[in-house]
Amino acid sequence: MQNSYDTPLMKQYAEIKSKHPGIILFFRLGDFYEMFDEQAREVSALLSLTLTQRHGVPMCGIPFHAAATYIGRLLKAGKKIGICEQVSTSADAKSKLFERKVIRVITPGTVMEDNMLDANQSNFLVCLQVEKDGWGLACVDISTGEFWATQNAADPHLTDLAGALAAVNPAEIMASAETLQVLQNKIVIPSTLPLTELAAFHATDRTVPAAWPMQSAWQEKPLALACAKQILQYVATTEPGAENTLIPSYRHLTDYLQLDEMPSVLWNW
């Protein structure tokens, strides 16, 4: 019996999947999004779907017209989804395959569709940078366009950061591996909160995008500036084009969160 991974279709699937590690690939086949192998096992367990097989390789499928419901459930479980669509109108004469590529990556913090969101709360993607004596934070809800950043260069014990995160209630946090480690060691965060690791970045580049107002003010807030720019880079990979419409404001932490009125903070998980 032919090994399914030796077929042109499965080779195409494996190649695309290898370019998107850590993401559940919704691979379009006709009227269904299909998942294979270990991802099929994971998704079938999370969504209570029937697990079938093709030439010995586990698989499960989701009707494309009902995908939003299933994607919403996976996002609530902290998963990231890559939508892999058929982008050619005719099959290649030699391989008999349609061209496919990932046209969008959906993560818990980059959801735009109303039917995947809780109408009663914001859906914030947060970028953090922790340094020796303080930190920077940028926060965006791309479903509404709300986008702001702040920093505290004199909070070595991260007391204000813990309060800020609890008040913001992020859907996803992105940061360097070093910052994520500090966060997990010093701040109690829900185990289900999606954490996205970024390459290390530093607040040394004070170049402000031309479209941003108050250029000189941003240059005086390098940690906030660095985090805001990182968020835009991330959004450009998940929602191409959305980054062009997002312009952040700078907010003083105490003005926005009124931490002095919060004697204790609790996560909403």
Mean of the pLDDT values across residues 158-176? 92
| CATH number, domain 4-106 | 3.40.1170.10
- Whether the per-residue pLDDT at 260 is higher than 60: the answer is no
Q: What share of the chain is helix, strand, coil (3-state, %, to 5)?
A: 35, 25, 40
Residue 221 CB contacts under 8 Å (≥ 6 apart), including other chains? 136, 149, 151, 250
User: Of all helices (H) and strands (E), which one includes residue 25?
Assistant: strand 24-29
Q: Is the pLDDT of residue 20 over 80?
A: yes
Per-residue pLDDT, averaged over 134-152, amounts to 94
Dihedral class, residue 196 (left if φ above 0, else alpha if ψ from -120 to 50, else beta): beta
The pLDDT tens digits of the residues spanning 114-135 come to 888 888 888 999 999 999 899 9
For residues 235-251, give the mean pLDDT. 87
Task: Delimit the domains of the chain by residue range.
Answer: 4-106, 125-261
Look at residue 264 in the predicted model and tell me its pLDDT: 36
Instruction: Return the CATH number of 125-261, one of 3.30.70.20, 3.90.1150.10, 3.30.420.110, 3.90.1010.10.
Output: 3.30.420.110
* pLDDT exceeds cutoff 50 at 262: no
DSSP element (H, E) containing 72? helix 67-76
